[in-house]
Amino acid sequence: MKPAKPRPKAPQSDVPRLAPADAAQRQLVTIEKPIYGGAFMARIDGKATFVPLTLPGEQARIRIVENKRGYATAEAEQIVAIAPERVAPKCSHFGICGGCHYQHADYVTQLNFKQTILRETLQRGGVQPPEEIAVLPTPVLSQSWAYRNRIRLAFDARGNFGYRGLRSHSVVSIRECPIAAPLLIEAARAFAEAARQSSPPLHITELSLFCNADETALLASVFVASLPKIRFDELAEAVHERVPALQGAELVAQGNAGERSGTLAKWGATSIPYRAADFDYRVDHGAFFQVNRWLVDALVDCVTAGQSGSLAWDLFAGVGLFARRLASTFARVIAVESASSAIAALQENLDGTSATAVHAATLDFLRLPRQSGRPDLIVVDPPRTGLGAEITGSLAQIAAPSLVYVSCDPATLARDLNALVAAGYQIESLALADLFPQTFHLETVVHLRRS
């Protein structure tokens, strides 16, 4: 057989291109391991190929859908050899909806994936993790479902709610969401129906829902693209009749990239109480709070247990989840938070304790002259972007004896730990807190001490 005539080479580019669905794009591969982001890796002629919805050890017939310079992405058309860890997904939308990634694997296997990913990510970032990565909590299957206290749903042009698709921004209409507290889906149905029945119909673009742990109180943020010609209080009352747990709702104008550009109307309360770690926290519309209603107490214990002294700083404090507990074991606590949506609740939650709320960005706070002295403990719980060079540099100069880093992204954690270890910190312990079962997301709690 004559070799195929070579095609002219296209210019190299990092922009993905859609591959043609011909036989050359179909391969039989063996899946090797999970990667961060929810897919699993195989190799074709040495090139990493990422295939979602498969499992390590499986043989899959795949179709390449995107080719980049250093890797490819593919879809599994057939699982030829099935891994023993594969289970039937609990959700009828799994594989189409982009919210979950691991429902096809048993829960213990999911935890093993996350430990492997965490260890490899840290090592790749130049950080040697401890031999043992603890898991918080001990795996409990029942805690891997109905755990979310917050969801954000998108609405399509017909008024149906759902999540974004696995590989697109289109809205996948849903009937269920087994990882969410049942109250949240009940409320979503009520808002969708009330919006359709309003006169004129309200065109919701997105809906954010947050409930407390026992589903007795609910807040809702209704996003719209333009000013509606309805009475929002009437719509909220209609939902409240169906869902009595609804205590407060707000109508929000949605700006670019889905961000809020202004609150148009409010109904009811602006906050709800949330019982966690032996305290009733106030949580306002839009304020950050840990998403897993089963594991909040365990997370607080993991971060604060055994910590005491004269002064502690809680940076990226949110509504004071950690600061409130630290106030019982430290003579003084300074809780720093930049979000306007959280600061009033933070101040109220710390009222009557040894803790003080500071409304400032963490970097701005660290740039201030330190009149209070060096803290015995610093707790940091940054967003996915992590701390970054300036903050880690400042922390290295402050040199608090003890530092606890709560991370929701292993890559930025590895980057920041590399800098902190180079500055003289040692990793005492590392725990994987599985706050996001069925998904690739993971939380990590790292205890560090100055050497």
The correct answer on CATH 3.40.50.300 for the domain covering 148-273 is no
Q: What's the chain's average pLDDT?
A: 92
Q: Do 119-141+292-450 and 148-273 show the same overall fold?
A: no
* Confidence tier at 25 by pLDDT (50, 70, 90): confident
Nearest to 27 by CA among 42, 7, 37: 42
User: Is residue 19 over pLDDT 90?
Assistant: no
Q: Where are the beta strands (DSSP E) in 4-89?
A: 17-18, 26-30, 33-34, 40-44, 47-51, 59-67, 71-81
- Confidence at residue 139, expressed as pLDDT on a 0 to 100 scale: 60
- Span 119-141+292-450 CATH architecture: 3-Layer(aba) Sandwich (3.40)
Class at the top of the CATH hierarchy for domain 17-81:
mainly beta
Q: How many residues in the chain?
A: 451
Per mean pLDDT, which range of 12-21, 75-84, 174-183, 337-346 is the poorest? 12-21
Reported as a single tens digit per residue, the pLDDT across 95-144 is 999 999 999 999 999 999 999 999 999 999 999 999 999 998 766 667 89
Cα–Cα distance for residue pair 99/97, rounded to 1 Å: 6
Question: For 183-211, b where at least 16 C-beta lie within 10 A, e where not — what string?
Answer: bbbebbebbbebbeebeeebebbbbbbbb
Pairing between β-strand 26-30 and β-strand 59-67 as defined by DSSP bridges = antiparallel
> Over pLDDT 70: what percentage of the chain?
93
- In this structure, are residues 31 and 61 in contact, taking their beta carbons and an 8 Å threshold? no
- In this structure, are residues 50 and 74 in contact, taking their beta carbons and an 8 Å threshold? yes
Q: At 96, which amino acid appears?
A: I
Cα–Cα distance for residue pair 67/394, rounded to 1 Å: 41
Nearest to 410 by CA among 143, 179, 123: 123
Q: How many CA atoms lie within 13 A of 209 on its CB side?
A: 29
Nearest to 204 by CA among 176, 226, 182, 183: 226
Cα–Cα distance for residue pair 148/209, rounded to 1 Å: 10
Torsion of CA 90, 94, 95, 100, to 10 degrees: -100
- Confidence at residue 3, expressed as pLDDT on a 0 to 100 scale: 38
Residue with the larger pLDDT of the pair 8 and 429: 429
Q: Is the peptide bond before 8 cis (omega within 30 degrees of 0)?
A: no
Nearest to 151 by CA among 440, 436, 448, 445: 436
Global confidence as pTM: 0.92
Q: Domain map of the chain by residue range?
A: 17-81, 119-141+292-450, 148-273
- In this structure, are residues 364 and 371 in contact, taking their beta carbons and an 8 Å threshold? no
User: Is residue 9 over pLDDT 60?
Assistant: no
CA 142 to chain centre: 20
Cα–Cα distance for residue pair 111/406, rounded to 1 Å: 18
Reported as a single tens digit per residue, the pLDDT across 57-89 is 999 999 999 999 999 999 999 999 999 999 999
Cα–Cα distance for residue pair 98/44, rounded to 1 Å: 25
